[in-house]
A = this chain, B = another copy of it.
Amino acid sequence: MTSSEVELPVVEFEPGRWGDPGNPMHLSDSVLGALTMLGIDGAAPAQTAPAPAPSRATDAALAALRATGAGVSTADDARLHHLRGYSTPDLLKFRAGDASDAPDVVVTPSSAEQVAPVLQACAAQGLTLSPFAGGTAVTGGLAPERNRPVVALDLRGITGLIDLDPVSQIATLAAGTRLPEAEKLLRAKGFELGHFPQSYEGATIGGCAVTRSAGQSSIGYGRFDEMVVGLTVATPIGSSEIGTAPKSAAGPDLRQLFLGSEGAFGVVTAVRVRVHPVPAVRRFYGWHFADFAAGSAAMRHLAQSSVRPTVLRLSDEAETGLNLANPGSAGKASGPVGGCLMVVGFEGDEADVDCRDGYVSARLAELGGTFLGEEPGEAWRVGRFRGPYLRDPLLDAGALVETLETVTFWSNIDRLKADVTAALTGALGEQGTPAVVMCHISHVYPTGASLYFTVIAKALPDPLAQWMIAKKAANAAIRGAGASITHHHAVGVDHRATYLDEIGDVQLAALRAVKAALDPQGVLNPGVLLP
């Protein structure tokens, strides 16, 4: 057994840089050396400090918001702390001094009861409202249309373990509870959530719900949308408790209408979510496969079996070569040269883990895997949240770096990987900046899997324009292959056009009808998810 992520603290991200300001990553000499092959010279591009334009909120609007009892601020610092999220375009805009998406007002309720009055005040005062949870958005979900003054509703004051049902293994958590705080509260009662998205250190329970977050233990504990059994939602037309049972045949599953709704239909104030007892045993292994095809075939076999591990991920040859699964040692070779690293983890009581470990290990060996022992698995586990920390120093060194992800059925995985890789390398290569594209599979299902891409190239003088060309090409490749535009990053504003193409007119009509019924004045996150 190893130490658990539940002991990690909540991290307060600073505007414009990912992660814990007190614990940044630095690029090793081997990484800096590798970057020169892409023409990246390590020279830091110029930056401009952003300063928001004056708030457009009227005194009357501010008074109405204050009357709700929630905190209200128009201070520049507060507004900058709620400026967009942490996509590379967001970071590049920040570095360029672009504060144009800053909310006009930041409202900080201290209780769920203040949310409905805030919604009413916004409706009455002609304001729009964008729910703000962990702030770790990467698809423009915090940058709504600005035709009216924008309120950022920061939910991080609505926290806590409201209820724990140890028999049903259900926790009711306030929406603003950060994931590390949720784990700490649960662990005091003998339970865990086990939800570890890459944004774990900052993300909130409510944010995970409305964006359909997927955590690194998704094969073991499920996606967040599979873990949720109930939601408390405040909409402009009233509040609702959604979900009365684990599963039901009582009409459509309306939990799945609000999960993924990105604040466009209502504000989630509490989430009832499945938890599990603190595992007695945790085992993480590394396995080596000769190539991505062999590794992904083995993953498919496990995903289509009844006996599965708790964690399963596979880095392709490029990502394995750069050792991105162990960010602290990125660029340093470790283990076998060439091929692909798979991480396989088990959590549970001893009998359960022994049973699954025995079955899974035998299958992986049959399917061509070479057992690497616990060290690579443990290295991944310890460094699992550090990967995104590399992005800021890479940008500082003159690189353009971004990630994107998609999901498709197994029979389409190879085509999708090839098409997206070709789109990214083509679109960047045509701009004179050859790119390295790496990929991993970190979420698998019986019928398919996600693909997560990391792309690095030399930054041009306008890196935002450079990236948007590449992103557009990747989006087209994803849709061309019939895959979904996002597996776990949500739609926001950035994916909206591609999303509308994905769902088509009939489904859009259904969503717009829901939006119009629940939010008739269009207060909630206008332009996010839906046009």
Contacts and interface: CB of A to CB of B under 8 A. Distances in A.
Interface stretch (A57-65, A85-93, A146-154, A167-175): A167-175
Given A252-B256, A306-B356, A495-B250, A238 B506 contact: yes
A529 B241 CA distance: 19
Contact of A306 (B239, B261, B352, B408): B352
Interface residues of A, number: 100
A213 B247 CA distance: 11
B356 A248 contact: no
B495 A411 contact: no
A359 B214 CA distance: 29
Interface stretch (A19-27, A34-42, A316-324, A440-448): A440-448
A245 B511 contact: no
Contacts of A491: 249-251
A518 B510 contact: yes
A265 B504 CA distance: 16
A516 B513 contact: yes
Interface in A475-509: 482-491, 495, 499, 502-507, 509
Contacts of A2: none
A121 interface: no
Contacts of A410: 167-169
Given A167-B411, A237-B509, A409-B165, A352 B307 contact: yes
Nearest to A411: B167
Q: How many copies does the complex hold?
A: 2
Contacts of A447: 168-170, 229, 246, 274
Contacts of A250: 260, 484-486, 490-491, 495, 499, 502-503
A267 B304 CA distance: 30
Given A246-B445, A351-B362, A503 B251 contact: yes
B245 A448 contact: yes
Given A235-B506, A254-B503, 20 more contacts: A167-B410, A168-B411, A169-B446, A169-B447, A170-B447, A213-B249, A225-B253, A233-B506, A244-B408, A245-B409, A245-B483, A247-B443, A248-B484, A249-B490, A253-B257, A256-B256, A355-B356, A506-B518, A509-B518, A513-B517
A69 to B, nearest CB: 23
A75 to B, nearest CB: 33
A304 B514 CA distance: 35
Nearest to A297: B167
- By Cβ-Cβ distance, the 7 closest A-B pairs, closest first, are A513-B517, A256-B256, A240-B506, A246-B445, A212-B249, A168-B409, A513-B513
Contacts of A495: 250
A161 B435 CA distance: 44
25 contacts: A169-B304, A212-B253, A229-B409, A237-B509, A240-B507, A245-B448, A246-B448, A248-B407, A248-B487, A250-B499, A251-B499, A252-B256, A252-B259, A252-B260, A253-B253, A253-B256, A254-B511, A265-B510, A274-B446, A276-B304, A307-B356, A355-B356, A509-B517, A512-B517, A513-B517
